[in-house]
A = this chain, B = another copy of it.
Amino acid sequence: MSTPFPAKPRIAIIGTGALGCYYGALLVKAGLDVHFLVRSGRAAVMARGIRIKLPTERIHVRKVQVYGSAAEIGPCDLVIVAIKATANAELKNLLPPLLGPETMVLTLQNGLGVEEPVANIAGAHRVLGAICYIGCTRTAPGVVHCSFPGLMTIGKFGKPASERTQALAALWRRVGVKCTALDNLEAQRWHKLVWNVPFNGLAIIAGGLTTDLLLADEGLRTLARRLMEEIVEAAAKFGHDIPRSFVDLQFERTAKMGAYRPSSLIDFEEGREVELEEIWGEPVRRAKAVGVSVARLEMLYWLIKRMLAARKLPKRKK
């Protein structure tokens, strides 16, 4: 039996990218005890806080507790992993100082296989994953433009939602995030891939396509649907039933998004890391492992991989 999740938890957020800033600012604004572990741009966040520009409002949290090392923060009730999955090798140093006996770790990362690296360090029993349906971009340290705040679903790694999972969802709702705790995290991850695989992927390999241009191109629109169908077929083999209506819904929603630049395209064009393995590589491997032919998904994976290899990445900022 674990103790109930505290009403005023001590929270650490690893990473101040778009998601770290956005969710962190909401938690700070609600008066919670939030500690940001910041790798780059620390002085700016410390001096000016975090600014979130939303379609209908602006949020500015002036006073933010930022740290350069996990040891300075120490054990928390909740750790939110908001770095990119491509930086997960750093978790072995960042996570342990933040863990106490009852600490929950929530990863906001995209794609498949993102809970495993956390579980390997912190233990599977305390790992949760969030699927964030949100459109936001960090434009400068501590500054985030959010085109739609979207919603979040959370779940426990490999298990149904527990009482503590429900308490965490309630916390998110309390600070203004539409959040639901669901029993099958992996199913949710496959659902998210239905959009991410084609729109993020084709945006990169078809020459920097915004979603409106993709939808306007008959071939690519059909291709996006075929890619979604491959994902649906693979997910079904793992017992996750994604209805056809969900595929249709992706197109309806995307049509309303206008000239949206998918986050992986922004990362690609701005010389940042792209979650190649989590969004494309791991789904390919899992699908093939259960005998599902994902010819287009695999081709997309190979093409993105090549585009990334050919791109000269700027030297990583420390």
Contact = CB atoms under 8 A, between A and B. Distances in A.
Interface in A216-268: 217, 219-220, 222-223, 226
Nearest to A305: B219
Given A219-B305, A306-B220, A295 B226 contact: yes
Nearest to A311: B207
Q: How large is the interface on A (under 10, 10 to 19, 20 to 34, 35 or more residues)?
A: 20 to 34
**Which of A205, A223, A295, A296 has most B Cβ within 10 Å?**
A295
A225 to B, nearest CB: 12
Nearest to A218: B302
Copies of this chain present in the complex amount to 2
Given A205-B205, A206-B307, A207-B307, A219 B302 contact: yes
A32 interface: no
A223 B206 CA distance: 17
A7 interface: no
A30 interface: no
A289 interface: no
A121 interface: no
A109 B180 CA distance: 60
Contacts of A209: 306
A155 to B, nearest CB: 32
Interface of A: 205-207, 209, 217, 219-220, 222-223, 226, 295-296, 298-303, 305-307, 309-310
28 contacts: A205-B303, A206-B303, A206-B306, A206-B307, A206-B310, A207-B310, A209-B306, A217-B305, A217-B306, A217-B309, A219-B301, A219-B302, A219-B303, A219-B306, A220-B302, A220-B306, A223-B298, A223-B299, A223-B302, A223-B303, A226-B295, A226-B299, A295-B295, A295-B296, A295-B299, A296-B299, A299-B299, A299-B300
